[in-house]
Chains A and B, each alone.
Chain A
Amino acid sequence: GDSVTQMEGPVTLSEEAFLTINCTYTATGYPSLFWYVQYPGEGLQLLLKATKADDKGSNKGFEATYRKETTSFHLEKGSVQVSDSAVYFCALSEADSNYQLIWGAGTKLIIKP
């Protein structure tokens, strides 16, 4: 079945550092790919998405490119802030499975001032 693997956390960075959180997937068809973020005490929020190969999703300075050849969707940000501290989830969905989201385990990001 489909699955998502993302790098384990926690990831600890200093403010203004460059961020990469790796995400790879296995899928039987052509999934859409997502990054969700969960800030402390809050619900899951969609951060960005990409629905086909080579698409780049972007939001709030974060970017991720749908790479079909490497089955990856790595999350990047050029300069992180303390307010980016949260748990980040990579996920996919496919039409064949009623668009249910299949999730990675999450990566906790800690940004120190």
Chain B
Amino acid sequence: GAGVSQSPRYKVAKRGQDVALRCDPISGHVSLFWYQQALGQGPEFLTYFQNEAQLDKSGLPSDRFFAERPEGSVSTLKIQRTQQEDSAVYLCASSLRDRTYEQYFGPGTRLTVT
């Protein structure tokens, strides 16, 4: 079946621009996670949704980062006034139930801020 998809796969933004990154989780998956992966590093947690509720946003690095999942399916991560340090791969993962351990990852969106 279809896996987690993310779009765009690559995004180049000029410093100061706003960007929106989309995640389509596996159908029926309750939990959705966003991670940020800097070059040569492991991913770092950004935020977590259970259905449409954002239960944890402790990993968002600043108030320029905002995520939503209004209907409990597709999620959007928005970054306002992008900075060079925002350059990274943004990963989305979904899991079937709120207490399952196995997360399925999308291919990521590589954001480059120039």
A: residues with CB less than 8 A from B are: 4, 32, 34, 36, 42-46, 49, 51, 89, 91, 93, 95, 97-106
Alpha-carbon distance between A49 and B101 when the two chains are bound, in angstroms: 9
Q: B45 to A101, Cβ gap below 8 A?
A: yes
B: residues with CB less than 8 A from A are: 3-4, 31, 33, 35, 40-45, 48, 55-56, 59, 91, 93, 95, 99-108
Alpha-carbon distance between A45 and B105 when the two chains are bound, in angstroms: 7
Alpha-carbon distance between A78 and B102 when the two chains are bound, in angstroms: 26
Q: A43-B105, A99-B99, A105-B40 are in contact. List 15 more A-B contacts (CB 8 A).
A: A32-B101, A34-B101, A36-B105, A43-B107, A44-B91, A45-B105, A98-B48, A100-B33, A100-B48, A100-B56, A100-B59, A101-B43, A103-B44, A105-B42, A106-B42
Chain A residues closer than 8 Å to B31, beta-carbon distance: 99
Q: A105 to B41, Cβ gap below 8 A?
A: yes
18 contacts between A and B (CB under 8 A): A43-B105, A44-B105, A45-B105, A49-B101, A49-B102, A89-B42, A89-B43, A93-B101, A95-B99, A99-B100, A100-B45, A100-B48, A100-B56, A101-B45, A101-B93, A103-B42, A104-B42, A106-B40
Alpha-carbon distance between A33 and B99 when the two chains are bound, in angstroms: 15
| Closest partner residue, chain A, to B50 (CB atom) | A98
Give the tally of cross-chain contacts (CB within 8 A). 60
Alpha-carbon distance between A32 and B103 when the two chains are bound, in angstroms: 12
Chain A residues closer than 8 Å to B95, beta-carbon distance: 99
Given A43-B106, A43-B107, A44-B91; A99-B101 close (CB under 8 Å): yes
Chain B residues closer than 8 Å to A102, beta-carbon distance: 45
Chain B residues closer than 8 Å to A4, beta-carbon distance: 42
Q: A98 to B55, Cβ gap below 8 A?
A: yes
Given A43-B108, A44-B91; A101-B41 close (CB under 8 Å): no
